[in-house]
Structure 1
Amino acid sequence: MVAVALLVLMAAVVLVARWLVTLEPVQGFLAQYPGESELPHGAPVGIPAWLGWQHFFNVFFMVLIIRSGWQVRTQRRPPASWTPRWGANPKKISITLWLHQSLDILWLVNGAIFVVLLAATGQWMRVVPTSWDVIPNALSAALQYVSLDWPTENGWVNYNSLQVLAYFVTIFIAAPLAAVSGFRMSAMWPAKAKRLSSAYPIEVARAMHFPVMLYFVGFIVVHVTLVLATGALRNLNHMYGGQDAVNWFGFWIFFASLLVIVGGWFAARPLVLAPIASLFGKVGR
């Protein structure tokens, strides 16, 4: 019943959007703001190989982080425990939480490298708004998407403004929020820092962390859907093949990356994790 209601609502939204774009004022708005802002002078063209690798590692870690985070939230009886070797009073945690926090650290390292390379290569200009007209252009792009008359895709040169805002929020707002809330909830938070803990209660971190995870899930679903629906071979070549072409090269690299991610998904179980976790602490029941 809920699915039917959602389909009816989506159909109604599309019909309203298609009616709006027939109105003369709206057509004038779309002509003035076609959906993308002009890039700053000297902005790089194309997607370098390092960005493709960063994208893969980010997806790999994020998928496993979401999986392990959901398990931490729902597991009543963890399959095993893990106790660190360091610290005066080492705290025992579940092996699932150990995996989640370990993946978080790897994801943060990868993210830090990503941000440094964005700044060093000028790629930041493609994902950071540099003009206020990004807002009306984003509204224009959103209206075009909803009306099913999708904006022209040319991600090799410039993302549309809605994409720019989505990437900016994901990289520079959602990711830091996930990091600071996750750190507050982790065993790495200094237990004796009473003033700091009082200023930043763990309840605030918990209230922030789960919605941020839901944001990432929603972003991934929409992002993958649009990549596949707006010229899959060309889009996959941009990110995985490092070329602006329509062939199967990027697709097969993407397919291989999916196999690695699926392999990681099935490997993230106590039988495989225990020997790795034992290198950094004590694994028990």
Structure 2
Amino acid sequence: MTRPSKTLIRLLWAIPLALAILLALVLAARALRETAAGQNFLAAYPGTATLPETAPVGIPAWLAWQHGLNVFFLLFIVRSGWQVRTSTRPAAYWQRNNTGRIRTKRAPTRISLNLWAHLTSDTLWVINGVVFYVLLFVTGQWVRIVPLDYEIIPNALSAALQYLSLNWPVEDGWVNYNALQTLSYFAVVFIAAPLALITGLRMSPAGISSRFSKLVPITVARAIHFPVMIFFVAFTAVHVTLVLATGALRNLNHMYAARSDDSWVGFWIFAASLVLMIIVWVVSRPLVLRSIASLTGSVSR
């Protein structure tokens, strides 16, 4: 019988520990809300930062599509990244064909099929991200996720207190995110995503890393890259939980259908995206990946 890995054992122990910590935080938050100081704090800082009058209202269709594509790419980035980290015997190797006008003196880099899948998912994610950044600033949607006032901090603490006490903040994400959401989305878009890209480039085996060798030491890149992945996973888990717990139909309509109502349109789009991701997950076996990878280079077992 195969013994469970040390990493799996640590993860299993982390689950009850995390639940115990969460329960303690919930009890502490509920107790704090009952105090006069807690009630005064919530009255002074309701949990929502004020937006400029010129801020756009609503979720445009392009943002809904970008959200769905980001979820899709991120799923397979995390999957392939985990396989790269844990696989000891790759199913195959990929090597770029050194053909065409551009020739180099060094031999083409040979990488595992898992790493090829990871880099391919990364590339698609970055291309989608560039489009996202351009549209974010062109349409003015950036003001909704960028902190513009120092009061965002106490309001974020207020929103966190309301979440932890299981008395959700009163909000309308179609018009304005609460302060904790704003800080979270800002961290994902402008901190975690760039960190993942920069450290990934530094660790890349394709020669790109040499450009970052002085700016980002390889040990620093490795120390940051994996925790960033854990952050994305944790953010996604909390995000999905709150979306479903704080008005699933309306939230899914915002995120997937670019509309603000309680219809089932967003839910069915979300369900279809889940089915698609499950199908691609199941199909993404070494045999299929080898066939796709062979279109961009030579594959050997």
Task: Give me the TM-score of the superposition, normalised by structure 1.
Answer: 0.95
Q: Which of 277, 286, 290 is the matching residue for 1:261?
A: 277
Q: Which of 28, 37, 42 is the matching residue for 1:25?
A: 37
Q: Which of 92, 104, 109 is the matching residue for 2:122?
A: 104
Equivalent residue runs for 1:107-256 within 5 Å: 107-190=125-208, 196-256=212-272
Q: 1:204 to 1:41 in 2, by over 3 A?
A: same
Q: Aligned to 1:116, what secondary structure does the other structure show? A: helix
For 2:114, the aligned partner's letter is: T
Q: 1:250 to 1:78 in 2, by over 3 A?
A: same
Shift in Å, 1:7: 3.7
The answer to whether the aligner puts 1:94 opposite 2:112 as a matched pair is yes
Distance 2:94 2:241 in 1: 38
Shift in Å, 1:11: 2.5
Q: Percent identity?
A: 57
Number of equivalences: 283
Deviations 1:73-92, CA, capped at 9 Å, x for gaps: 00000000000113522010
Unaligned stretches of 5+ residues in structure 2? 1-12
Does the aligned pair in 2 maintain the 1:153–1:230 contact within 8 Å? no
Does the aligned pair in 2 maintain the 1:64–1:264 contact within 8 Å? no
Does the aligned pair in 2 maintain the 1:183–1:189 contact within 8 Å? no
Q: 1:241 to 1:198 in 2, by over 3 A?
A: closer
Shift in Å, 1:4: 4.9
Displacement over 6 Å in runs of 4+: none
Shift in Å, 1:188: 2.9
Does the aligned pair in 1 maintain the 2:202–2:209 contact within 8 Å? no
Shift in Å, 1:9: 3.4
Q: Which of 51, 54, 70 is the matching residue for 2:63?
A: 51
Does the aligned pair in 1 maintain the 2:201–2:208 contact within 8 Å? no
Distance 1:124 1:243 in 2: 19
Q: 1:65 to 1:192 in 2, by over 3 A?
A: closer
TM-align CA RMSD: 1.5
Q: Aligned to 1:157, what secondary structure does the other structure show? A: coil
Distance 1:192 1:147 in 2: 49
Unaligned stretches of 5+ residues in structure 1? none
Shift in Å, 1:25: 2.0
Q: Please name the residue that 1:281 is paired with.
A: 297
Deviations 1:72-122, CA, capped at 9 Å, x for gaps: 000000000000113522010011100100110110110111011000001
For 1:36, the aligned partner's letter is: T
Does the aligned pair in 2 maintain the 1:241–1:253 contact within 8 Å? yes
For 1:171, the aligned partner's letter is: V
Q: Please name the residue that 2:10 is paired with.
A: none
Shift in Å, 1:12: 2.5
Task: Give me the TM-score of the superposition, normalised by structure 2.
Answer: 0.90
Q: 1:5 to 1:114 in 2, by over 3 A?
A: closer
Distance 2:231 2:161 in 1: 21
Does the aligned pair in 1 maintain the 2:250–2:262 contact within 8 Å? yes
Does the aligned pair in 1 maintain the 2:145–2:183 contact within 8 Å? yes
Deviations 1:136-182, CA, capped at 9 Å, x for gaps: 00000000111111101311110000000000000000000000001
Q: Aligned to 1:138, what secondary structure does the other structure show? A: helix
Deviations 1:216-275, CA, capped at 9 Å, x for gaps: 000000000000000000100111121110021110010001111111211222211112
Q: Aligned to 1:188, what secondary structure does the other structure show? A: coil
